[in-house]
Each structure stands twice: as structure tokens, then as C-alpha cells.
Chain A
Amino acid sequence: MKSKNLIMLLILFSVVALGHKINIFATVEGNQIYTQSYASDGGKVKGGTIEVYDKAGNKLLTGKTDSLGEYSFTIPKKDDLKIVVLGGMGHRAETIVPAEDLPEVVVPKGEKTQVKPKKEPVQSPLIATAEIDTMVIRKMIEDALDRKLHPVMRMLAEQKKEKVKFTEVIGGIGYIFGIIGIFAFFMGKKKNV
């Protein structure tokens, strides 16, 4: 029983024990937007709330990140989309996907994205196939590219993780000593006068 409680605690701990900062990375894949949310120490934001807003600030949809900190959704609208992730305990990050990054035709939610090849009369096979081909091929290429690029995008998201740099830490300590040193200088001056 005790060990069970401990495990529960550890799970809860792993869910919410983030660094101080969370980040969100979003890419467009076909008619979907894929997002990945992670903490500054590299941990994933599990079960975080994702909120999507349009340019005017209307909330379009909400969702929850999965165990990998990922969440994908169908593009609700061709507009500058603001994606916000809330990690709980005051953690929040946002990113904006500009309208020009979104595909021209946004398929409304629920509708199947598959392009149905039209049945053309047999008389003019050449013209018909040429017309369908461009659409189908474009769709196929996009699908294939999305599938192939998904791991690359994920890697990019991983690489983009902003970890604390040693030089910045040392720099920060330097600032603290410098600023307090300046204070001390003026205090000492006053004391001598």
C-alpha cells in the first residue's frame, strides 16, 4: 500500500515538476498543427492544457497534451493562430503560427481530407487523368512529406530546447556581485564622508 502511494506520488511529481519555464513548438503538417511542449530542463509537459486563439483573441479550441507533451489538432481557421500551453502552477508559454504558414484550403473539422478520384467518362482518359493527377499527386506528396518530416520536426523541437547555459550562469553571478559591489561602493563613500 505504501509503495503504491509512493508510486502515485512519483507519477504526480513527474507530471508537474517542471523547470521554471515551459516552451511550445508548433509546426504545420497538412491540415493539422503538431505541437510539442517541454520544460526548460528537458521534461515534457504532460497533461498540459493547449488553447488555440485566432488573431481577434477568440478561443477556437482547447486540448490536453499526451505523455510525450504532444498535441495535434486540425487547423480550425486560416488566420494567425496563437497557441498557448498552460502547464499548471503558473507555467505558461505561447507561440504564433502565422496565417501564411497555413495551407490555402483549410478543411473544416470532421470532414474527411481524402481526395476522391472523380469517375470520368472513359472517352477522354487523357484529359481527365491529367486533371486529377495534379491534385492527387500533390496530396500524395504532401502526405508523404509530412510523414517523412514528422521525425525531423520532432528532432528540431528537441534541439530547440533552451537549456540553461553555463556561461549565462557565470554571467549572472558576475552581475550580482557587480551590482552589489556598486551599492557597497556608494555606501562606503557615504560612510567615509
Chain B
Amino acid sequence: MHIAEGVLSAPVLIGGATIATAGTAIGLKKIEYQDMPKIAVLSSAFFVASLIHIPVGPASAHLILNGLCGIILGWASFPALLLALFLQAILFQFGGLTALGVNTTTMATSAVFCFLIFGKLTRVSNQTVNFIGGFLCGFLSVLIAGLFVAVSLTLSGEVFIPVAKMIVIVHIPIMVIEGILTGFVVLFLKKVQPELLENYVQ
């Protein structure tokens, strides 16, 4: 879902950069000193997740982990994902540098959105609800990110419905795997490190 250099039109790039800057500013303002270690860990997790390709049938897929970042980091997802995407762009040319703003917006906005809506579910004291909350965050973050990519491609001249359909269909397996994984991570953290889910950046 990384958009390459030279695909999007200038207004879309500028719009993406503006949203990313605003989100990053909000995130940076809300970060407390004690949040730093988990931001570093999740930023790295996101950075690595996109590089590890897991064969699924004849193709290969990879995790995105933006939903998990959203649950644990909240608004701090913006600076965390911006940093990881920046390094992916300069080290591996995954996504263009000019498209960095759009890519950050795509990944982080969906993460923060899911966190604001379903984040509460991960903090109640019921394991089933926790799992569902985690699943929804993982699943929907990928779905919404995909729709964002479709919208930005549409604004740059492609037709929305076929593009959106293709992106969503391709990512269905990833959404499901990501949802289940995020659900289990939430359950695990709830058991061993519950404060990680409490001290999110609101």
C-alpha cells in the first residue's frame, strides 16, 4: 500500500502532506516522556512488518500492523509511522519520498480512527470483548487504509470503484490475519503488560 513516486497528482501529495503534518504535530504534542520506548518499539515493528513477506498461496503478503500501532500509541501513531515510512522510503525505496505525506496519512489516519472508535473495547475487563476490539482495529485499519489509497489514486485520475475493489480484495487475507493477530496481541498484553493498553496517547 505504499504509493510510489510520480503516481499521484500534486494537489493530492500536498493534501496528504498537510494531513500528515497536522497529525504528527498533534501526536508530538501529546507524547509524554514515558511513551518514548513503546513508540520506538512499535515504529520498528511497523518498519519490519512490511519487509517480511509471508507466502500466501501463489503470492506473498505482509503484515501492516497499523491497527496495533493505533491501539497502543493512539495519536502518537502519526510520528511513529512517519518515521518508519521515511526510513522505508530512503532505505528500500518503498513508496516515494514525495508521497511520504500521503502514505503516512493513509496508514496513520486509519489507525487513529480505529483507536478512537474501538480502542475502548480493548480496555474493558472481558477477554472476548478485548479480542473483538483488537480484531476490529487490526481488520478495519487495513481496510480503511486501502480505501484511502483508492481515494488518493482516484483523485489522481483513476476510477474509484475498480481500484477500490481490487485493493480491498487483495487485502482481504491480510485484513483477517492482521485482525486475528492484533486480537491475540491485545489478549497477551492484557495479561502481561496491561498498562501498555492504559497509558495510550489520548
Which residue numbers of A lie inside 8 Å of B, CB to CB?
9-14, 16-17, 19-22, 40-41, 43, 86, 88-94, 164, 168-169, 171-173, 175-177, 179-181, 183-184, 187-188, 191
Task: Check A187 against B84 for contact (C-beta < 8 Å).
Answer: no
Q: From residue B168, how far is it (CB to closest CB) to chain A in Å?
A: 11
Our pick among B4, B31, B83, B84 for the contact of A92 (Cβ within 8 Å) is B4
Task: Check B4 against A17 for contact (C-beta < 8 Å).
Answer: no
Q: Chain A residues near B91 (CB, 8 Å)? A: 168, 171-172
Give the docked Cα–Cα distance between A90 and B165 (Å).
14
Q: Chain B residues near A168 (CB, 8 Å)? A: 91-92
Of residues 29 to 70 in B, which have CB atoms within 8 Å of A's CB atoms?
Answer: 31, 33, 36, 39-40, 43-44, 47-48, 50-51, 53, 56-62
Task: Check B173 against A13 for contact (C-beta < 8 Å).
Answer: yes
Residue of B nearest to A172 (CB): B87
Task: Check A9 against B59 for contact (C-beta < 8 Å).
Answer: no
Our pick among B6, B43, B149, B153 for the contact of A176 (Cβ within 8 Å) is B43
Our pick among A17, A20, A21 for the contact of B170 (Cβ within 8 Å) is A17
Task: Check A20 against B92 for contact (C-beta < 8 Å).
Answer: yes
Task: Check B36 against A180 for contact (C-beta < 8 Å).
Answer: yes
Q: From residue A9, how far is it (CB to closest CB) to chain B in Å?
A: 7
* Interface status of B5 (Cβ within 8 A of chain A): yes
Number of residue pairs A-B, CB distance < 8 angstroms = 119
Q: Chain B residues near A173 (CB, 8 Å)? A: 44, 47-48
Report if A40-B94 is in contact (Cβ < 8 Å); known contacts: A14-B59, A17-B170, A169-B48: yes
Q: From residue B129, how far is it (CB to closest CB) to chain A in Å?
A: 31
Which residue numbers of B lie inside 8 Å of A, CB to CB?
1-8, 31, 33, 36, 39-40, 43-44, 47-48, 50-51, 53, 56-62, 83-84, 87-88, 91-95, 99, 149, 152-153, 163, 166-167, 169-170, 172-173
Q: From residue A141, how far is it (CB to closest CB) to chain B in Å?
A: 39
Our pick among B43, B58, B88, B166 for the contact of A180 (Cβ within 8 Å) is B43
Question: What does DSSP make chain A's interface, helix, strand, loop or mixed?
Answer: helix
Report if A180-B83 is in contact (Cβ < 8 Å); known contacts: A10-B57, A164-B51: yes
Task: Check A21 against B59 for contact (C-beta < 8 Å).
Answer: no
Report if A10-B58 is in contact (Cβ < 8 Å); known contacts: A175-B87, A176-B44, A181-B40: yes
Report if A88-B47 is in contact (Cβ < 8 Å); known contacts: A175-B87, A180-B40, A180-B83: no
Give the docked Cα–Cα distance between A43 and B56 (Å).
13
Q: From residue B166, how far is it (CB to closest CB) to chain A in Å?
A: 6
Given A13-B170, A90-B7, A177-B44, 14 more A-B residue pairs with CB atoms under 8 Å apart are: A11-B58, A13-B169, A16-B170, A19-B53, A19-B60, A21-B92, A21-B93, A88-B163, A89-B153, A92-B7, A168-B92, A183-B36, A184-B33, A188-B33
Query: Which among B36, B56, B59, B149 has the highest number of chain A CB atoms within 10 Å?
Result: B59
Q: Chain A residues near B48 (CB, 8 Å)? A: 169, 172-173
Query: Which among A90, A91, A173 has the highest number of chain B CB atoms within 10 Å?
Result: A90
Task: Check B93 against A13 for contact (C-beta < 8 Å).
Answer: no
Residue of B nearest to A6 (CB): B57
Task: Check A41 against B167 for contact (C-beta < 8 Å).
Answer: no
Report if A40-B92 is in contact (Cβ < 8 Å); known contacts: A173-B44, A176-B47, A187-B33: yes
Q: From residue B192, how far is it (CB to closest CB) to chain A in Å?
A: 22
